Amino acid sequence: MTDLTSLEAQLTAAVTGAIDLAALDAVRVAALGKTGSISNLLKSLGAMSPDERKTAGPAINGLRDKIQGLIAERKAVLEGQALEGKLAAERLDLTLPAPPRRKGQVHPTMQAFDELICIFAELGFAVAEGPDIEDDFHNFTALNFPPKHPARDMHDTFFLQEGPDGTRKVLRTHTSPVQVRTMMSQSPPIRIVAPGRTYRKDSDQTHTPMFHQIEGLVIDRDTHMGHLKWTLETVLARYFETDAVTTRFRPHHFPFTEPSAEMDVGCDRSGGGLKIGQGSDWLEILGCGMVHPNVLRNCGLDPDEWQGFAFGFGVDRLAMLKYGVPDLRDMFAADTRWLQHYGFSAFAAPNPASGLS
Ligand code: PHE
């Protein structure tokens, strides 16, 4: 019995003194493992006389239960400590400033989109969207392009393969189909801008097969060209962050607007550079006009009741103009060094409160 008492004292000390889970497990194996001290005592019961066994049995089993209980208790404590330690080591202080290393950069085109959307939002325009893969109806027919008319070729369209119904979808050649989608799904008054990708079979220094436009559409009861001109001049002045933007309308033709115009901004090309808001040169930047009555009718609106204007900017070009990018193709070359130079911090997204850029 003294043996048991000293073994109990020794094992109790070992269990409470185990500093981690591995040490505790070693104590468990030494006591309760196959050849552990308590296991050996239990095995010795078989060789005892029935009388001896009567007292030794409960004593040894009692010791085993006690030590097992102590081990379980100690294990819970050590596991708690291990978790605390892990949580402390993995603690992340979210109030620390982000490291200054800027890995991702916002592309100038996306920056220009954000700026334009921000400016239009202040004027009460909502953002509308449509799919990049369009059908003939939304991209052409509803926009008053006559069937088989060469105006459809004017856009150097990418056609997709013929579908089961014999029609061919297109990669939208402009964002104007979003006008149609909006007029068919909302009732006027309407005031939207539609930013997005557009596609044409064209590639040189000033054209890429994919480029970006932002479309604008306003439908109301007494809308006229004056509203159009004021809107565009206001937006351009805000975008170029100058009061001195001069603009002019040039007559043009689009099937979906009547009258149609292109707008130029005044600029200065002397000295090799290009400056907006000064000088005596002109640069074409957008197409626009009053929404054609046929388009209104195609979208279920009565032209005697509703009029509106629409416009479409080339956004890559606006970004190049504002941020001094010389070649359009570089915009889509996916060169990270270029982006490091021309890109913007994602932490400084344009907003009306803190400014545009
Ligand atoms: N969709 C025309 C283009 O891509 C631009 C435009 C939009 C013209 C809206 C008039 C009205 O060239």
**pLDDT of 148:** 80
Q: Which of 280, 331, 281 is nearest to 112 (CA)?
A: 331
pLDDT tens digit string along 295-312? Answer: 999 999 999 999 999 999
Largest CA distance in the chain: 120
Residue 1 predicted with pLDDT over 60: no
CATH 3.30.930.10 for the 108-342 domain, yes or no: yes
Where exactly are the structural domains of the chain? 4-89, 108-342
Whether residue 331 is predicted with pLDDT greater than 70 in this model: the reply is: yes
Percent of the chain with pLDDT over 70: 96
Q: What angle, 0 to 180 degrees and rounded to 10, lies between the N-to-C axes of helices 2-17 and 50-89?
A: 10
Which among 134, 174, 292 is the best mutation to test ligand 1's pocket, defined by most ligand atoms within 8 Å of the CB?
174
59-91 pLDDT, tens digit per residue, is 999 999 999 999 999 999 999 999 999 999 999
78-133 pLDDT per residue, tens:
999 999 999 999 998 888 887 776 678 899 999 999 999 999 999 999 999 999 99
Q: Give one word for 313, left, alpha or beta, with left for phi > 0 and alpha for psi -120 to 50.
A: beta
Determine the 3-state secondary structure of 53 from DSSP: helix
Structural element, H or E, at residue 68? helix 50-89
DSSP state of 125: P
d(CA 8, CA 28): 13
143 by Cβ neighbours in 10 Å (0-12 / 13-18 / 19+) ranks as: buried
**Which residues 6+ apart lie within 8 Å of 263 measured at CB?**
232, 247, 248, 249, 250, 284, 285, 286, 287, 288, 311
- C-alpha of residue 196 to centroid of ligand 1, in Å: 13
- Output the pLDDT for position 326: 78
Mutational pocket test of ligand 1: of 199, 254, 292, the residue with most ligand atoms within 8 Å of the beta carbon: 254
